């Protein structure tokens, strides 16, 4: 029933008399109107809130409203407005609560703008206590905001009202939902998980209370703008620290508020009582975890209670018993006392030069250059900023070492004056001063050799330890300086810049082993492990590493074993590094890589489990380790699909979910729980990544991927909008938006947006993304949409653009001067596209002939790699309508590779050997999986073989769930092009089994999908039409 607003007072009075007598309206809001009334039976003043009639008109809303009111009525606390009764009368929903004389917090803020910090602390403590009482009763408010906070006249007590009303009204209105995917509440006060439409608990209310506290102090909420912008910023951005927005805010209060505003629920106050205790000085406020690549998360600086100073908590006074404090050392950048710009490189170089020399003694642990940078970033120390002794001691403690070196240098003419002051970390006492004064000419490194020798003497190193930077690195100062610059750029994640400088270093000195290692590492991070530049670089790094410290030699050997596919050996070496330093984030990452890329065995779930644990350990030590996030998100996204091959059965464990024959190995309940878990973990990890690196494209891409996997397309679009605001030029975003539309099922609009993007962008538009190859995947994903539609022209156009952009963003010069931009990537992509859809044969033949010719003309060590790029085309020529096995024969002759059992079965059938085909299909799964021959084609080709053998039931079982919902939209996945042929094959199998209705559905789907496809695919369309005709449909 609908009531005009003017009649609401009269209608409500009629419904509630004689029990209540309405007097006047007290206020109104988005949910309803509040009236002052008298409870006639008890002769007391009450407030009655009536829900806007238009919100209460939906089915089942009465049941939900009353259920919420009953729950809330059980919660009794001095700072919660008590609910006495609730009901429905004449189509109106209402509840009766205490009258609170006074005003709302919103009215107070409108009048005063912002409040005194002492007043804020008192109000916050009242509301924290209220939320604690509600949380213990299992009640989540979901809409904590100033409008729902009442300030009692006389006492000033803060009271929370309207518990559960937003939740009660949400599910039927269509605007908000209590389920996953849509948010409930007021955008400006939503927690990140609430804004993302996820399940929430009492920690979500803690976040909202933090927003209210921020507004009371600053005069505005932490984020402002349109609802969509505010929601996305809550999800992804950290607010400006409140003590910067309000300089007179006491530090403990500021720390308590900012902890309430942590993005991850686990990082906030876990209850209202914890927050109340912190405000009362009864609980220490731990620090927020921060860091850059390589950051050690062992920081234990804590804010003491209200009214006390910041101090060190939980520190031991010195090293453990039996540990020599001079056997572990942190060197900080030397001060350039005269600010001589020509010598500024020595400031950062001092850490590397001393560290490499000191590390020659195996008994001395030296914090390396990269880790030192991360420690400084953790403490918000900028490059070039002076570091005092107390800060230096704190950095050393965080690194787990007991000696710290502070130094300076002065250059005068051709002379250099070096001073190193050595301090004991536990006491702060100066242990020694080491000085070197000498003529340096151009190369200052010999002077640092002398200084290192004095520091080694102090540490008790034996005389036979050999040092000398020129001996262990390079004789060329120019090469060494290029190396230092490359390492600095690598630390800033400027991969393109790092590659350029490191390539210059090895071009100057072709025996510079350490530079070769960093170049191989950079190439691996930039383009992956199968890279000829990285292969050559790591071989040369090994050859020229004899004079490096043992630690560096082990690092190089481990990486060489890894990119050479010797994963077990690489694991042993990384474990050696970790046994010496368990906080070595790079070693943990390397260990994770060895598990992640080890495809030995049919069931890789144990390896994936070990990889996930190692990468997460990396992120615990270094919350900004980009590639660790990349790998974790890849595994979680794979497990978040509707039918994952590997399921996340526990937060840190995978299990094989799908057998080789397509059978599910987990029951439906276990699989459903694993998928939900993967989606939740993916969102949580992506949110942490974005908060840590808000300007990183890859982080936002992971967030979009996580939202798409969970079906929250609205949040995915909001994430794109938020990232677009960071810079006016983002040529990749139309491709990302189209991918979201495609995943949501809006294929037509996705294709239209992509056609427009392909017509308007140019490869050079992506030059700002040098060193960021993920933009290549975003563009290549456009081919999924066109392949699904059968638009091969635009699919190939998208892959061509992706290839051209790849050459722009992953551009480099090989040491031999040849171009890195070979055709292999393009051949693989086009071969997979045309093989998936079944033609055209001429295009497949052209791709194969290009690969074969390149392989035949290449040196023997490159021949097989180049031929592999034509493998998809060779398979497509045989398995498509052409049925031409010539290319497969040529492929085997060039490479000597064996073929997958599915391809061998089809070859046997082509010869008329059904027995051989059955024998091949019955073989156990190989442990030698070749990515260029195997994964993409396995199930469709096996199904094709079973169909030709007349085993139609197995055909259907193998193709079970080969549907769009099980495929990923990120990156190019040629299976999208296979969907049409798979549906046609399923339709034929159903028809052979007499299951006419199911066959009809499959044929109709082929027509709907490929009705407007290229002429190459029209034979498949005609087969579907003929199938429908046989089933009695014209």
Q: Report the catalytic residues.
A: 143
SS3 (DSSP) at 39: strand
Neighbour-count burial for 635-656, b at 16+ CB within 10 Å, e otherwise: bbbbbbbebbbbbbbeeebbbb
- 839's torsion region: left (phi>0), alpha (psi -120 to 50) or beta? left
With contact defined as beta carbons under 8 Å apart, do 736 and 720 qualify? yes
Phi–psi pair at 430, nearest 5 degrees: -80, 130
* Alpha helices for 598-651 (secondary structure H): 605-621, 626-639
According to DSSP, the residues that pair with 44 across neighbouring strands are 39
Helices and strands: H and E segment counts in the chain: 45, 18
- Give the closest residue to 900 by CA, choosing from 933, 945, 877, 870: 933
Return all residues near 872 (Cβ < 8 A) that are at least 6 apart.
Answer: 828, 831, 832, 835, 847, 932, 936, 974
SS (H, E, C) 948-1008: HCCCHHHHHHHCCCCCHHHCCCCCCCCHHHHHHHHHHHHHHHHHHCCCHHHHHHHHHHHHH
SS3 (DSSP) at 651: coil
CA distances from 293 to 373, 391, 619, 683, 693 (A): 9, 20, 9, 21, 11
User: Exposed/middle/buried for 949, CB within 10 Å: 0-12, 13-18, 19+?
Assistant: middle
Q: How far apart are CA 256 and CA 245, in angstroms?
A: 15
With contact defined as beta carbons under 8 Å apart, do 93 and 56 qualify? yes
Instruction: Report CA dihedral (485, 487, 492, 493) to the nearest 10 degrees.
Output: 120
677 C-beta neighbours (distance < 10 Å), count: 18
User: Exposed/middle/buried for 317, CB within 10 Å: 0-12, 13-18, 19+?
Assistant: exposed
Element (H, E) at 365: strand 365-366
With contact defined as beta carbons under 8 Å apart, do 974 and 832 qualify? yes
Taking CB atoms within 8 Å and a gap of at least 24, the contacts of 185-188 are: 185/142, 185/143, 186/143, 186/145, 187/227, 187/230, 187/231, 187/234, 188/145, 188/221, 188/223, 188/224, 188/230
- Cα torsion 1003, 1006, 1011, 1013: sign: negative
SS (H, E, C) 739-775: HHHHHHCCHHHHHHHHHHHHHHCCHHHHHHHCCCCHH
SS3 (DSSP) at 851: helix
With contact defined as beta carbons under 8 Å apart, do 632 and 615 qualify? yes
Instruction: Report CA dihedral (713, 714, 715, 720) to the nearest 10 degrees.
Output: 90
């Amino acid at each position: 029933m609908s009531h005009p607003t003017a009649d609401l007072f009269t209608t409500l009075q009629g419904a509630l008399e004689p029990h209540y007598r309405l007097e006047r309206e007290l206020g109104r809001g988005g949910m309803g109107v509040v009236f002052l009334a008298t409870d006639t039976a008890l002769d007391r003043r009450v407030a009655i809130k009536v829900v806007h009639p238009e919100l209460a008109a939906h089915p089942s809303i009465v049941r939900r409203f009353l259920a919420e009111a009953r729950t809330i009525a059980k919660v009794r606390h001095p700072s919660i407005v008590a609910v006495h009764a609730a009901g429905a009368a004449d189509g109106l929903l209402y509840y009766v609560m205490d009258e609170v004389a006074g005003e709302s917090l919103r009215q107070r803020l409108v009048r005063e703008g912002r409040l005194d910090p002492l007043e804020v602390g008192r109000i916050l403590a009242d509301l924290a206590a209220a939320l604690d009482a509600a949380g213990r009763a299992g009640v989540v408010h979901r809409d904590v905001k100033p409008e729902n906070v009442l300030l009692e006249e006389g006492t000033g007590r803060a009271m929370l009202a309207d518990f559960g009303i937003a939740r009660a009204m949400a599910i039927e209105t269509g605007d908000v939902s209590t389920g996953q995917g849509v948010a409930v509440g007021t955008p400006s006060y939503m927690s990140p998980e609430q804004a993302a439409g996820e399940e929430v608990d009492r920690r979500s209310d803690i976040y909202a209370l933090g927003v209210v506290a921020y507004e009371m102090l600053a005069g505005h909420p932490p984020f402002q703008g349109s609802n969509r912008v505010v929601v996305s910023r809550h999800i992804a951005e950290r607010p400006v620290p409140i003590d910067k927005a309000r300089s007179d805010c006491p530090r403990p209060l500021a720390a308590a508020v900012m902890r309430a505003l942590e993005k991850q629920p686990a990082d906030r106050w876990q209850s209202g009582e914890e927050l109340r205790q912190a405000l009362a000085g009864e609980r220490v406020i731990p620090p927020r975890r921060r860091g850059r690549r390589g950051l050690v998360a062992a920081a234990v600086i804590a804010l003491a209670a209200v009214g006390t100073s910041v101090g060190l908590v939980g520190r031991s006074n010195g090293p453990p018993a039996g540990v020599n404090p001079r056997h572990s050392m942190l060197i900080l950048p030397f001060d350039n006392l005269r600010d001589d710009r020509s010598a500024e490189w020595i400031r950062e170089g001092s850490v590397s030069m001393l560290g490499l020399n000191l590390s020659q003694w195996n008994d001395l642990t030296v914090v390396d250059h990269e880790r030192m940078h991360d420690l400084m970033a953790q403490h918000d120390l900028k490059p070039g900023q002076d570091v005092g002794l107390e800060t230096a001691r704190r950095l050393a403690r965080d690194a787990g070492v007991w000696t710290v070196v502070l130094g300076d240098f002065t250059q005068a003419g051709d002379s250099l004056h070096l001073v190193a002051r050595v301090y004991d970390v536990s006491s702060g006492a100066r242990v020694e001063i080491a000085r070197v004064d000498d003529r340096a000419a151009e190369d200052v490194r010999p002077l640092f050799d002398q200084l290192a020798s004095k520091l080694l003497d102090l540490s008790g190193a034996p005389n036979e330890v050999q040092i000398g930077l020129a001996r262990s690195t390079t004789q060329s100062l120019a090469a060494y300086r290029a190396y230092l610059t490359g390492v600095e750029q690598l630390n800033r994640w400027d991969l393109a810049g790092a590659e350029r400088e490191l390539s210059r270093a090895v071009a100057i000195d072709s025996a510079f082993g350490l530079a070769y290692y960093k170049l191989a590492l950079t190439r691996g991070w930039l383009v992956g492990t199968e890279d000829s530049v990285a292969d050559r670089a790591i071989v040369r790094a090994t050859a020229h590493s004899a004079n490096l410290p043992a630690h560096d030699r082990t690092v190089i050997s481990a990486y060489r074993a890894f990119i050479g596919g010797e994963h077990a050996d690489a694991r042993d070496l990384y474990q050696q590094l970790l046994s010496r330093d368990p906080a070595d984030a790079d070693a943990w990452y390397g260990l994770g890589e060895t598990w992640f890329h080890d495809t030995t065995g049919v069931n890789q779930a144990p390896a994936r489990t070990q990889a996930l644990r190692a990468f997460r350990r990396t992120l615990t030590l270094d919350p900004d380790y980009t590639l660790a996030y990349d790998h974790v998100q890849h595994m979680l996204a794979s497990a978040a699909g509707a039918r994952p091959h590997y399921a996340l059965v526990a937060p840190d464990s995978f299990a094989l979910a799908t057998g080789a024959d397509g059978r599910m190995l987990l029951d439906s309940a276990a699989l459903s729980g694993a998928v939900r878990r993967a989606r939740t973990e993916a969102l949580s990890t992506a949110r942490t990544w974005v908060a840590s690196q808000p300007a990183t494209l890859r982080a936002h891409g992971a967030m979009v991927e996580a939202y798409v996997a969970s079906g929250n397309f609205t949040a995915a679009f909001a994430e794109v909008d938020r990232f677009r605001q960071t810079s006016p030029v983002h040529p990749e975003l139309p491709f990302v938006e189209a991918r979201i539309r495609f995943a949501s099922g809006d294929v037509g609009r996705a294709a239209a947006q992509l056609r427009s993007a392909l017509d308007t962008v140019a490869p050079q538009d992506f030059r700002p993304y040098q060193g960021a190859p993920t933009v290549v995947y975003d563009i290549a994903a456009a081919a999924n949409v066109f392949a699904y539609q059968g638009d091969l022209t635009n699919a190939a156009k998208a892959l061509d653009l992706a290839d051209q952009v790849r050459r722009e963003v992953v551009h480099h010069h090989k040491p031999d001067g040849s171009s890195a931009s070979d055709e292999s990537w393009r051949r693989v992509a086009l071969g997979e596209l045309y093989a998936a859809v079944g033609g055209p044969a001429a295009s497949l033949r052209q791709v194969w002939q290009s690969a074969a010719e390149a392989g035949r003309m290449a040196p023997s060590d490159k021949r097989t790699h180049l031929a592999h790029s034509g493998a998809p085309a060779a398979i497509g020529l045989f398995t498509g309508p052409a049925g031409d096995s010539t290319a497969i024969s040529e492929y085997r002759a060039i490479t000597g590779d064996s073929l997958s059992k599915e391809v061998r079965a089809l070859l046997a059938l082509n010869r008329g050997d059904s027995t051989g085909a059955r024998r091949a299909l019955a073989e156990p799964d190989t442990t030698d999986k070749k990515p260029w021959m195997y994964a993409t084609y396995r199930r469709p080709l096996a199904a094709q073989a079973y169909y030709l053998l007349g085993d139609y039931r197995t055909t259907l079982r193998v193709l079970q769930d080969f549907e769009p919902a099980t495929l990923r939209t990120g990156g190019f996945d040629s299976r999208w092009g296979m969907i049409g042929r798979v549906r046609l094959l399923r339709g034929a199998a159903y028809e052979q089994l007499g299951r006419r209705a199911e066959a009809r559905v499959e044929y109709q789907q082929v027509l709907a999908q490929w009705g407007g496809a290229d002429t190459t695919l029209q034979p498949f369309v005609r087969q579907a039409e003929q199938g429908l005709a046989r089933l009695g449909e014209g």
